[in-house]
Chain A
Amino acid sequence: MALSITLLCGGCGILTSPDLNPKGPIAHAERQLLFDALSVMMIVIVPVFIMAALFTWRYRGSNAKARYTPKFDFYWPLEFLVWGAPLAIIVWLGVFHLWPGTHRLDPYKPLPSDVAPLQVEVVAQDWKWLFIYPEQDIAVVNELAFPVNTPLSLKITSDTVMNSLLIPSLGGQIYAMAGMQSRLHLLADEEGEYWGRNVQYSGKGFADQQFHAIAMSRDDFDAWVAKAKQSSGALDAAAYQALAKPSSKVPVTYYSGVEPDLFDSIIAKYAHGHDRLAAEAAEAGHEPAQP
């Protein structure tokens, strides 16, 4: 009863919700897994509801007509079913959905496509997102633009506490952790402006730590890059230091150029093997950023 009221209330919202209304193949496949598993699970769930309702009604104390067998406490076939049915469902779920689904939808796995993927390096900061486009040599705060139908290859790290990057319309999340790089591959097959954000609590500016994820046509994307190129400032070491300070509700900001290997140096300054990565970074001919 309460359930149906809530579902009615929620009905309008849930139909347009990003998770159930995916805009890309990853989110679509993740939703499909959700639906598949949900339907398989109904084989156990529905009987529970029916049995609970039926037994509660039929064997109520006032119903003297119902059979009463106070010593009935075991029956092999029933017990076989009780163990067997859930087990069969779990095996089915594991073999046909969980295992293959997890392998297919590994966020580290590049997406097959004829188009070369767009590389973006993502840095979580307090409390904003920095997107570095190494190929285009631009950087943007709180806006992630990309061409539609082009795989988006994200390298993600954090220059602060642990964050988690989620763009619900496009697909699942991955943590961003200092000194480490995580990967996420996404693809939009429909133009539009979606939202993405940090979903791992990170401090007092957490609620506003969101960004626009805009899937646009190739032409629009080129125009967007050109626009960014024309912005006044470049993201050099000093500009980066200023940006990395905690701040909330930072408006979308474009940088026309980026300090070389900025992303790697952000990782290197925290890296655990420290020396190995720092040494590699030094060999590659650049200094780690100042702490």
Chain B
Amino acid sequence: MPFYSAIAASGAAVTVLGGVAVMAVVTWFRFWPSLFGEWLSSLDHKKIGIMYIIVAFIMLARGFVDAAMMRAQQAIAYNSDGYLPPSHFDQIFSSHGTIMIFFMAMPFLTGLFNLIVPQQIGARDVAFPFMNSVSLWLTSAGAGLVLISLVIGVFSTAGWTGYPPYSETQYSPDVGVDYWLWAVLVSGVGSTMGGINFLVTIVKCRAPGMHFLRMPLFTWTALITSILMIFAFPALTVVCSMLALDRTLDFHFFTNGDGGNMMNYINLFWLWGHPEVYILILPAFGVFSEVVAVFSQKRLFAYISLVLATSAIGLLSFCVWLHHFFTMGSSETVNSFFGIMTTIIAVPTGVKVFDWLLTMYRGRLIFKPPMLFTIGFLVTFVIGGLTGVLMAIPPVDYMVHNTTFLIAHFHNMIIPGVLFGFLAGYMYWFPKAFGFKLNEWWGAASFWCWIIGFYLAFMPLYVLGLMGMPRRMEHYDIAAWQPHLIVAAIGAFIIFLGIVCLGVQLAVSIRDRKQLLDLTGDPWNGRTLEWLTSSPAAPYNFAVLPKIEGIDAFWHLKEHGLAYKRPAKYEPIVLPKNSLIGLFIGGAAFAFGFAMVWYIWWLAVLSLAAIAALIVIRASDDEPDFVMPASTVQAIEDERFEQLAKAPRNEMEDEPGFVGFPAPEAAK
């Protein structure tokens, strides 16, 4: 129990009380039956996507609290111990990185894939809906392990990368590293399965006519990301298992002495870690590609270049891992090779930036919040790209490696690159998930807070890096650093306002949902297929699978007046039944992780047996699907077309790029 400090104890209290409060609310509104019946057991990719994104937002809040605490500590810790002891500060920087990468960004992107990819390719669900649910609950189990470490025991102090030998039992004897390991391992298995699922979905489940080179860019990035997940995550599984064997069974993979070699860990970790960077950012690139075309009211410029660039980035991402440790003493030729490979990635990335800009060229820009995030991204991201190329030059890296320059660089990639992309996607696709749009004023306010906060928080870290300030400093004795750290703390506070704005935006939009209603399913005059479905989409997405004739499939259908044609009669549709087994497997995996952290062997065996039993039960079920009768489909579609007919005039209809909505007679 965290009684070692008041701050840690209150963190634990907030976690516990938060959990209790959620349960109380659910109980009060008698929401339990529908929670289990319609959500937790759901195999519908859209609901699973929404749950992923909820996990991401919860973990974003937790990860941000960590960040704010670090900024506050460093702002005051000049020649003083600040308010956090090293043992606590070190847990915070470790959990911040772990949470933001594994439990904020990963669930967010998987959630967006779930919500959108099947609809973009004209599929009725993902290829393996049940495995999808297992992935979700494994990710949640990992997130749960990180959260519970706040209450029972401690978290790792070894940073999000967990470098040995520091992370070995000799130097980190407490349970912190074990929490980190098992959280990462459990969720990593979920991510591998997610990758397999989306690869198969995209390769096998596209609607007729949706050739690879007609797929929207977001789906393309989902495809490449899935491939990266399938081939990169095994490295994480292997390296974390080895460290777990070292810690639990006294093996000698990475120990000091006894034939261990820490350099193997570092190689294996980054063999996963570098592709992971692109796993995070490619989906965001996909979102930007969609948003920039829609809100420039113009075709995406050089579609084929963007596809090629995406694939090239995916391939190159496996050839650069050594740039994370130029300072480990490799020969100058090896360092040069990996440095050059790294700079080469800047080429396809630069191509993307220019093609997005050229999409805006001679367009008619509409500055909705997703577009604001996109433009903010374009400008800010190139600064991160610039510093990335600088650090790809080994001698420059010798100077700034392990300093706050590096911290500034990767936050410069991950906040404007990844997070802005996900937030843009969240605001862009929110109506598709819930049937009403998000408030734009608060969205814009959030954007401005995020971008101003970002510059204030991270530009000083570039300067501090050049002043030699290392990362992960609990206190320091160099006076010149402090002003920069104070500015950075102010920046963090403004980012906090940005997060508050997101919360207000959601609350205000729920309150005003009647005014923000999207009855058409196509609130932005969209170009891609997900806007053909109703908002929110029916369980089967498409009553009749659309026939695809080109890039921007939906646009094409609208232009030719085919978008809202009704068939003479509807066919029955096969859909997966709900199942709680995924949730149970996640619960058992959580118990297993917890047991391995605390060496509770009976619980470990029991939970593994439970997982095996659950899988056998599921595998013996030959009727996992049900058939939705044609009459039900008919009824749902009737209502959909009634709504279409009475949809009020859309603001996009005044725009020059508008291609047309359903003719009202289509509803008859």
Contact = CB atoms under 8 A, between A and B. Distances in A.
Interface of A: 2-3, 5-7, 9-10, 13-14, 16-20, 27, 29-31, 33-34, 37-38, 41, 44-45, 48-49, 51-52, 55-56, 59-61, 66-74, 78-79, 82-83, 85-87, 90, 93-94, 97-99, 101-109, 160-162, 164, 166, 168, 171-175, 177-180, 182-183, 195, 197-207, 269-270, 272, 274, 291
Interface string B274-313: 0000000000000000000000111111111100000000
Contacts of A78: 358
5 contacts: A48-B382, A70-B656, A86-B346, A178-B257, A199-B471
B367 interface: yes
Contacts of A272: 259-261
B325 interface: yes
Nearest to B403: A199
B332 interface: yes
Given A82-B350, A206-B472, A270-B257, 13 more contacts: A17-B463, A33-B396, A72-B361, A86-B350, A98-B392, A102-B332, A161-B164, A161-B171, A173-B399, A177-B328, A199-B402, A201-B472, A274-B257
Contacts, number: 320
A205 B473 CA distance: 10
A34 B390 contact: yes
Contacts of A51: 354, 357, 361
A45 B329 contact: no
Interface string B431-473: 0000000000000000000011001100110010111101111
Nearest to B654: A61
A38 B302 contact: no
Nearest to B363: A59
Contact of A207 (B159, B354, B400, B473): B473
A291 B481 CA distance: 40
B415 to A, nearest CB: 13
Interface string B387-429: 0011011111111111100000000000000000000000000
A71 B327 contact: no
Interface in B149-166: 157-159, 163-166
Given A34-B396, A48-B382, A59-B362, A9 B402 contact: no
A13 B480 contact: yes
A143 to B, nearest CB: 16
Contacts of A101: 393-395
B375 interface: yes
B460 A10 contact: yes
A5 B490 CA distance: 13
Interface stretch (B26-34, B220-228, B337-345): B337-345
> What secondary structure prevails in chain A residues at the interface with B?
mixed
Contacts of B395: 29-30, 33, 101-102, 104-105, 172
B456 A30 contact: no
B399 A30 contact: yes
A9 B399 contact: no
Contact of B351 (A2, A60, A86): A86
Given A17-B467, A98-B340, A73 B299 contact: yes
Contacts of A20: 466
A27 B362 CA distance: 47
A99 B505 CA distance: 50
B488 to A, nearest CB: 9
Contacts of B375: 52, 56
Contact of A168 (B299, B304, B399, B473): B399
A71 B487 CA distance: 45
Contacts of A5: 456
